[in-house]
Structure 1
Amino acid sequence: MTTVSLTAEATGNRTAPPTKGSQARRSRKAAETRAGYAFLTPWLLGFLLLTAGPMIASLYLAFTNYNLFSAPEWIGFDNFTRMFSDPQYIQSVKVTGLYVLIGTPIKLIAALAVAMLLNSKRRGQGAYRSIFYAPSLIGASVSIAIVWKAMFIDDGVVDQIGQVFGRDAGGWVGNPSMTMPMMILLTVWQFGAPMVIFLAGLKQVPNELYEAAEMDGAGPVRKFLRITLPMLSPVLFFNLLLETIHSFQIFGSAFIISGGTGGPAGSTLFYTLYLYRRGFVDFQMGYAAAMAWVLVLAVGIITFIFFKTSKSWVHYSGETK
């Protein structure tokens, strides 16, 4: 009895040999894995050589004194402490911060307003959408910056129109108090991308909510505050985050309009423009690398704050709080 039970137990615990079907499945899975990595190889090489590699190199250079012509010299945190005593760096932070704080909200307000107008059914709706979206297709190109500068220089189109309405002659480009409004107008004019996203979000708001609000006697303002904004909060959060990051990266238009100097009187000395000047004009590549990493850190902190605070004002469909 004991011998039989031990034999049965040993037989039951014995691992069954792999079948031909399981071996074929494993071989096929291994072949698919190898093929997947083979297709990913170009992207992985590009990421390592063109993104991760330069980022690691710039992080090292941020702690060195490097002028592109001699070997980097390790100086520790000197580049970072130097920023606090650099008046031009402080000016670039002020200019960029003002541009982000003013330009981004105005751009989003304009995009949302036009999206709400285009959300209603009317003749030629597709044509209107294309017209408003067209500036975003062009992007912040060199040609647009050149045309924009020509419009706002002394005796330009904008100056001539201003003189018709009694404004003194004088272009915006050479006026330190008017260059920031000019740059903000340029970014607001290109509101097409967030407008399309807002329009897609408005299409997802159920009409039943507006009908119920009307039966309760709610007016347009109350419906906007109580229905439209809460339902659009995820889209608004996405646009706000994206446009804020884009605003920190402004370079091309500022470079063309100011001639690469950041003038007049440092009114267009944006952060990336000053970074470019330090790295490729003054050949202070170590200092420029340190500036770049400070910008990355600042944008990362702002993004973290956005995500943390979004829990209190971003509402997703079907979510209970």
Structure 2
Amino acid sequence: MTTNDPQGGAIQPRRTTVAIATFFLVVIILMVIALFNAPTMGGPRVMASATTYLEEVRRTALPFLGAVALLATILGLVAARTVYREWPNPRRRHNLIMGYLFLSPYLVITLTFTVGVVLFALYISFNNYDIFTPPEWTGFDNYARAFRGFSNPAEKDFLQSLHNVLWYSLIVVPTQTALAILLAVLLNARIQFKQFFRTIFYAPSVTSSVVITLIFMWFYLKTGYINFFIAKFLGVFGLQWENINWLGDPRGLIQLIVEPFGVRI
């Protein structure tokens, strides 16, 4: 199953063999990733051994694996066709192999922890699933219930979330982008202590996300520093301040900020 390379004389596997191997490699990798993201009942009992986990997957996640198998087959065919087309050209073959070798760590991580999780979320959105019981297919019932808030105010949690995200996108994103550009321009100008300010502004980028999260929580908890400082400041003028649950109020952070000024969004 080999042939001579007309340009280099090296012995190369036939492109049909390589294309078939590529197809199976893609399918196997995607199915292994799907196994790690399969919706199971979870718990120590299931994770005790590979046998118990696979048995749980077989019992509860076969539809999910079937959907992933279909997707893996399509992607495998696309990959095999690409290899089959590019393999006869030595330069393109080299670029193809080296490119995917360098990309492979990123692709595996992304497929496992991003694409796999998205597919898992998409699958369980059509099921009644709470981790502790097997998924029960409900079709579009979850989506219908999410939008039921249009007719039933008691079930408006999802619509309230969309409302908060919309206002966040309209206010925070443009403001944050404009301030970032302004600071970047200022820090590129000839000012004193420029290196110091650059270091201060860039420090959060290299700080542990866990530390940043803890600091954020310390500030915005109902008993956090923001409520504490506002209460102390207003106390100087004899005014009372009722602590706000910045992170837990469903009205959203922006509404909580503008509401004291009589603005409702």
Q: TM-score normalised to the size of structure 1?
A: 0.41
More RCO (CA 8 Å, sep 6+): 1
| Larger-Rg structure | 1
